[in-house]
Structure 1
Amino acid sequence: MFVSACSTLPLTAAQREIWIAEQRLGKGNRVFRVGEYLEIDGQVDPALFEQALLLVVADVDALHVRFVEERGEVRQVVRELGDWSLSRVDLSAEPDPEQAARRWLDTAVARPMDLAEDRLFEYALLRLGTDRFYWYQGYHHAVMDAFGSLLITRRVADVYSALVQGRPVAPSPFGSLSDLLDAEQEYRDSERFTDDRAYWTERFADRPEPTEIVGRPSTTPERYLRHTTGVEPTELDELRASARRARVPWSYLVIAATAVYLHRTTGASTVILGLPVTARLNQVQRRTPGTASNVLPLRLALRPDTTLGELLGRIGERVLELGRHQGYRAEDLQRDLDLPAHVGTWYAPVVNVMSFDYAVSFAGLSTTAHSLSSGLVGDLTFAVWDRRDGTGLTVDLNAHPEICSDHELATHHRRLLTVLRAVKTMAPAEPIGRIDLLTDEERAALLTVPDDIPQATETTLPGLFEARVGASADALAVVCDGSGLTYRELDERANRLAHLFVARGVGPEDVVALALPRSTDLVVALLAVLKAGAAYLPLDPEYPPARLAHMLADARPAL
């Protein structure tokens, strides 16, 4: 530990945002748990492993803190950890050790951690057999992110290897918690912070609406849905080869596939993805375990005739810009733009491509890493893990259970992978509109008409409404803010307005824009447009002017 015990320090910006979010959710919520396990092939010495772990944890300031409120301000107190030990769990006698290990891991990562009372990390060594072990790491996200966890993993592997081989343990390379705080304050006092703020507020001054394919959650659940699959090393090699031909990092193909999927699924010509970044701006931050990660919006314009090469070029420009301005917190941007608070981020889905060198070994024993939880999801997160260990890719799709079922999640996951595989084989000059989202089975199901399908009646919506007027003319049809209209009154008002529309030349194939608040007048106007034979375009008067202008330019209404 580099910071003296009992020292009281301010929170980093990332910690403060997690603290605020957790206070809204209440104690006992487990969504801010971060966890993974490392599969170790070979015989591990548990005593030496624990010795290595104790040495490493002693040098990680972030693991020594608890959070306190002092005079209305939240701070972190560095404390002595006292006696703690590595949990050793022997599952080798279980009928199915791997299944037993999965149950143990699921239970462990689901346990909440109290920022004010609990130790904010936990480790366990699970023995599945003589030469098979799982090392579990669990943290509260307020003290550790995925990058920080990787730093700890590498250091424990190095120290364990030295102990097994009888070599001296090299000095710790880690920076201190004070170093992280100093680096952050230096950034916030710099011109770079001012420039970053100007960049983000200008780029999103029109407060664009997020592109949603599963809706937006209203609550934070106790758990998230996850669908996981693997991509074989041969496919990863093909993905990398395709990226080399296009002269871009392979992660750009993942981003492109996600953007295309949103565009094709929603029809949106502008998509906004959340892109996680390490937000570690200097060498001190890059060698100090802790939490600093940030999720920033990546805005892309695309049309069916946009070529893959054009899209990759735009992604390259935007990602480079985002990287130059990654120190600015997404939460600060949300406040700058006066956007409503949402669960997770205000843009979704999040595309998280994690390509870290996990090819670590413990005294020659090979390892494979597996993610268990990465913190708050929001509505949808597409996570692609490249451990660079020769095992290919792990592809997760995480979703909020309030807005997505297991079946829907599996469908989105399958189609995202379909688009990724299509992007992998496309020529840069091909338009993205040619990408097929459906499998052969799905297309056959859509094109096949069942024999017992009921026949549609020869009527229209205005016709159905008029039949209702004839049957219940004096019944109440619509109520809003204490006033209402009967079916007869609604029909008469809608007819008068429809005649006005027709007199203005409105008819079939036309669009009429309606900028009205939620009211009886809006219902009258909607019905009148349909009676005139046209289609309506509802415009929310609360939308930013730039968004309204875009909608009008895109729809080109007749009135």
Structure 2
Amino acid sequence: MIQPLLPDPLTTSQNAPESDALEEDIFVLPASFAQRRLWFLDQWEPGVYHITMAVRLTGRLNVTAMEQALREVVRRHEALRTSFKIVDGNLFQVFVPQMHFALAEVDLQKFPEDVRRVKLRRLVREDIQHPFDLRQGPALRATLLRLGEHEHAFLLTMHHIISDAWSMEVFFYELKTLYAAYVFGQPSPLQELPIQYADYAIWQQEWLQGEVLEKQLTYWKQQLAALPMLQLPLDHPRPAVQTFRGAAQIVILPKALTDKLKVLSRREGVTLFMTLLAVFQTLLFRYTDQDDIVVGIPIAGRTDSKLEKLIGCFINTLALRTNLAGNPTFRELLKRVREMTLEAYEHQDIPFEKLVEELQPERDLSRNPLTQVMFGLQNVRHEVVSLPELTLSPLKFDSETAMLKQGDANWISRQQSFLDNEPVMCDLDLTMWERGDELAGEIKYNTDLLDEPTIIRMKAHFLNLLEAVVADPTQHITDLALLSEAECQQMLVEWNATSVAYPWEETFAALFEAQVERTPDAVAATCTQAHITYRQLNQQANQVAHHLRDCGIGPERVVALLAERDISFLTAMLAVFKAGGAYLPLDPQHPTARLRHVLQHSDCCMVLTTPAFVSTLAEALEEIPVETRPQVLLLEELLQQPHIQHNLVLQTSPHQLAYVIYTSGSTGKPKGVMLEQQGLLNHLYVMIENFQLTETDRIAQTASQCFDISIWQFLTALVVGGRVQILPDEVTHDPGRLLAQVEEQHISILEIVPSMMRAMLEMLETSQISKPALAVLRWLIPTAETLPSELCRQWLRLYPAIPLLNAYGPTECTDDVTFYPIFQVPDE
């Protein structure tokens, strides 16, 4: 803890002028650490770091006594007579022995009540937000708004650089004490202050150096090493430069819950603050899935009793870092929070500003250093305000905290809408107070990052967690109930009530054969200059399928296909399905070792290939034992041999294996993902429904055969009578040729990765050739990579009539599980 102030400054202020000092004398002394940072922040964003108190005065007001009391408070506290100046790059406090301070008065009596109410709100907000000139001073102002003969509003606004929340309590206490005396013509009952804020600033800088500073810094450097950035799920992209527009939501904990939290805290040997902090950090953990959570807490900074009656900026911030790794029980988490908090209190004397200066975190203008989330539990004194012939009540814009202290629940419901546009210094700030038998508080949040519905849900989740921990603190933190019963019903039942009618009892082969009957002479697929009708494709697939069936291929038997993507490749896919087998794509570009692993791991019994890849396949098979080596057939030979071309008797059922696709192997060896016929059809019909596919559509087949999206690209059009346009690699890898093919082949559905989308847009911007009209293209589907909003803006500005569908899904779920259509240009 901080050592007591040195004796000399406590008995006599170093800054008090000599008895014969002239009134014009000014005093220049170094600014405190906190003042330096607040000066910097004010230069960056003026009008934000203000503290306000607004009070409604009902009864007979003695304006002269009020103004006299204000001037006496200003006389007593040098901080209120302070301005600031930079000398040789250093910030100094400049204060004068005396300062004439006037109470501004505004008369609103002449206006009708509804107009008066609007004007009152506007004037108060303007006063709160109007910047101070810290170079000239003063950094406070007081305004009296006359609302009626016996009704006034008193507004006091101070810059944080000379004040804090504790100081506002000191100011109000002295003001009402002095007013009560002056009304009756009595002298001030307050004793003179032995020291001033400037004495504290000097002492702080002299004391906090050498061994003392090193001990504090050593702890915090260890505690905050490799500090993580909290990744709250935001509703809006974070602006490049931090903003301070905010709003608030009121939080009320009923008496029963408050009592249980206090009992839990006593039983576990922790303070109520520690319990609430642990629950709040659990909430952040559940929202972010990060187990290393840093939360800032405000502390009064008045560790010497002689500082308690001073006005000034003493408040400090501690960055409390809690390790939630290992999914501890809440009881274990409480122990961790207790230990961490007590250690932080032992090293609380280093100013947050000095800590930032020493740690030098990476500069980021979009957020606060070290922590972006705050939590506090304040001790509010419940004093009865008694003034001669006056009743004092909070006026909104004084922040809801005043009413929370009074416990006016009706006010809460009436005034929630007034909490908009309150400045907020961080992303999220939860502050609570003990209010009688209840706990109450507010969640302030940055409205450029988070929306009101999000905070309302977060508030409910916080309350749910509180109920869960008092019910059973032995639960692991991932098991604590976060959602309400209604939310569980919504997420697990209502949102999943998405079933639609589709032929789930069928198989792809049967549906394709039905389409062949409907449109036998329509073109089914095209690749470069080649094309094939539905009848021809069905006949060729039947011819190969009969060969496969003769070789023993049937349900659950895996057949690999090693060939270039073309019409023959599509024919072989269909043949495997017709024979009842499961299709396994192999990429000719993959290394031999990967091909060998896939063939062995999949228990593949047959490989269909082309002459171009016979040697590649032979190399992959040579290390596989002969008895387990798959049979190899050449696709061209099967297509040239005379065979039966009529449909086979299908032996496939909806729950049989349809295909196997291997993952990329980025986390180790590639793993085979097995999908059933029913899952395959479910996905195909999702695409048909979402894109409203018909026989007029031409779907571009652009993906590698080993990429899961290739499945729907190959097959979807074939069950609605549309056309598959197979684009070879030399086209899909060239943005210019790809766009040209989309135009020339009248493609209506195109799916690409965002990196190719970027290349296409860059080519369109730099090319001298006029951009293609793409008149037939109905949808562009970016997939597989993060889709930057800038690409959406570029595309929709060039092609406003062609929407985007951002698609995502893992192979294990038959490709896509979520879609997000984008019709309008996203906001900057």
Per the normalisation by structure 2, the TM-score is 0.52
Kindly report the root-mean-square deviation, in angstroms, between the aligned alpha carbons of the 2 structures: 4.2
Q: Is the 8 A contact 2:77 2:196 kept in 1?
A: yes
How far apart are 1:158 and its partner, in Å? 2.5
Q: 1:304 to 1:201 in 2, by over 3 A?
A: closer
Classify 1:376/1:162 alpha carbon distance in 2 versus 1 (closer, same or farther; 3 Å).
Answer: same
Q: Counterparts in 2 of 1:341-420, with a 5 A limit? A: 341-342=363-364, 343-359=367-383, 361-363=385-387, 370-371=398-399, 377-386=425-434, 390=436, 392-420=438-466
Q: Does residue 140 of structure 2 align to residue 121 of structure 1?
A: yes
Structure 2 vs 1, CA of residues 426 and 191 (structure 1 numbering), >3 Å: closer, same or farther? farther
Shift of 1:247: 3.9
Give the structure 1 partner of residue 72 of structure 2: 55
CA distance in 2, matches of 1:494, 1:6: 81
Question: Structure 2 CA distance, aligned partners of 1:497 and 1:80?
Answer: 87
Q: Tell me if structure 2 keeps the 8 A contact 1:7–1:77.
A: yes
Residue identity opposite 2:378 in structure 1:
M
Q: Which of 197, 214, 220 is residue 200 of structure 1 equivalent to?
A: 220
Question: Is the CA contact (8 Å cut-off) linking 1:232 and 1:393 kept in structure 2?
Answer: yes
Other structure's SS at 1:258 match: helix
The answer as to whether partners of 2:244 and 2:426 remain within 8 angstroms in 1 is no
CA distance in 2 between counterparts of 1:200 and 1:164 reads 52
Query: How far apart, in 2, do the equivalents of 1:286 and 1:500 lie?
Result: 76
Q: Give the stretch that moved more between structures: 42-51 or 491-500.
A: 491-500
Contact kept, 8 Å, 1:227 with 1:397, in 2: the verdict is yes
- SS of aligned partner of 1:381: strand
- Trace 1:106-505 onto structure 2 (pairs within 5 A): 106-126=125-145, 134-164=153-183, 168=187, 169-173=189-193, 175-189=195-209, 191-214=211-234, 217-221=239-243, 223-231=245-253, 236=258, 239-302=261-324, 305-342=327-364, 343-359=367-383, 361-363=385-387, 370-371=398-399, 377-386=425-434, 390=436, 392-423=438-469, 425-446=470-491, 447-449=493-495, 495-496=590-591, 499=594
Q: 2:77 touches 2:311 (CA, 8 Å); kept in 1? A: yes
TM-score (norm 1): 0.74
- Are the counterparts in 1 of residues 249 and 456 from structure 2 also a CA contact under 8 Å? yes
Q: 1:427 to 1:445 in 2, by over 3 A?
A: closer
- Alpha-carbon distance in 2 for matches of 1:128, 1:417: 40
Counterpart for residue 20 of structure 1: 40
CA distance in 2, matches of 1:332, 1:69: 18
SS in 1 for 2:161: coil
1:277-298 residue CA offsets vs partner (Å, 9 max, x unmatched): 2233323333321112222211
When residues 79 and 255 of structure 1 are mapped into structure 2, their CA distance, relative to the original with a 3 A threshold, is same
Letter in 2 for 1:350: M
Q: Per-residue CA shift, 1:67-126, capped at 9, x if unaligned?
A: 222233322211366433223455576525766544433222111222223421112344
- CA shift at 1:47, angstroms? 3.1
Between the aligned partners of 1:457 and 1:163, the Cα distance in structure 2 is 89
Q: Which residue identity does 1:218 align to in structure 2?
A: A
Deviation at 1:258, TM superposition (A): 1.0
Percent identity of paired positions between Structure 1 and Structure 2:
22
Q: Read off the aligned partner of 2:399 and give its amino acid letter.
A: S
Deviation at 1:267, TM superposition (A): 1.5
The correspondence for 1:67, drawn from 64, 72, 84, is: 84
Q: Deviations over 1:393-439 (max 9, x none)?
A: 5422222233222332333233334334444x334434333322223
Matched with 2:113 is 95
Query: Any unmatched runs of 5+ in structure 1?
Result: 459-469, 473-486, 514-526, 539-559
CA distance in 2, matches of 1:123, 1:501: 82
Give the greater-gyration-radius structure (CA): 2
Contact 1:213 1:262 in 2 (8 A): no
Q: Is the 8 A contact 1:217 1:378 kept in 2?
A: no
Question: What SS is found at the alignment partner of 2:155?
Answer: strand
Q: Which residue of 1 aligns with 2:701?
A: none
Counterpart residue identity of residue 320, structure 1:
L
Question: Relative to 1, partners in 2 of residues 1:188 and 1:143: Cα closer, same or farther, differing over 3 Å?
Answer: same
Structure 2 counterpart SS, 1:179: helix
Change beyond 3 A, Cα 1:9–1:500? farther
Tell me: CA distance 1:405–1:376, structure 2 relative to 1, closer, same or farther (3 Å): closer
Cα distance change of structure 1 residues 334 and 74 upon mapping to structure 2, 3 Å threshold = closer
Shift of 1:323: 1.4
Quick one: structure 1 residues 366 and 268, their matched pair in 2 at CA, closer, same or farther if it must change by over 3 Å? same
Measure the CA separation in 2 of the matches of 1:333 and 1:456: 63
Residues 249-282 of structure 1: CA distance to partner in whole angstroms, max 9, x if unpaired? 2222321221110111112222111112223332
Q: Give 3-state SS (helix, strand or coil) of 1:429's partner.
A: coil
Comparing 409-418 and 112-121, the one that deviates more:
409-418
- 3-state DSSP class of the match of 1:382? strand
Q: What is the aligned partner in structure 2 of residue 464 from structure 1?
A: none
- Distance (Å, rounded) in 2 between the aligned partners of 1:174 and 1:456: 85
Amino acid at match of 2:31: L
How far residue 376 of structure 1 moved from its aligned partner, in angstroms, is 5.5
Question: What's the CA shift for 1:15?
Answer: 0.7
Return closer, same or farther for 1:84/1:178 CA change in 2, 3 Å cut-off. closer
| Counterparts of 2:146 and 2:70, CA distance in 1 | 17
Q: Mark the CA change 1:452 to 1:299 in structure 2 (over 3 Å): closer, same or farther.
A: closer
CA distance in 1, matches of 2:172, 2:193: 13
SS at match of 1:292: coil
- What SS is found at the alignment partner of 2:349? coil
- Alpha-carbon distance in 2 for matches of 1:371, 1:327: 29
CA distance in 2, matches of 1:167, 1:182: 36
Q: For the Cα contact (< 8 Å) 2:430–2:441, is it kept in 1? A: yes
CA deviations on 1:117-160 (whole Å, 9 max, x unpaired) are 34211123445567765442211121212122222222223223
Per the alignment, do residues 10 and 247 of structure 1 end up closer, same or farther by CA in structure 2, a change over 3 Å counting?
same
User: Cα offset for 1:44?
Assistant: 4.6
In the superposition, relative to structure 1, how do residues 299 and 452 fare at CA in structure 2: closer, same or farther (>3 Å)?
Answer: closer
Contact 1:180 1:288 in 2 (8 A): no
Residues 353 and 383, structure 1, Cα contact 8 Å, conserved in 2? yes
SS of residue paired to 2:53: strand
TM-fit CA distance, 1:178:
2.5
- Change in 2 beyond 3 A, CA 1:203/1:82: closer
CA contact (8 A) 1:65 1:79 kept: yes
Whether the 8 Å CA contact 1:229–1:395 is kept in 2: the answer is: yes
| Code of the aligned partner of 2:375 | V
Count of matched residue pairs: 489
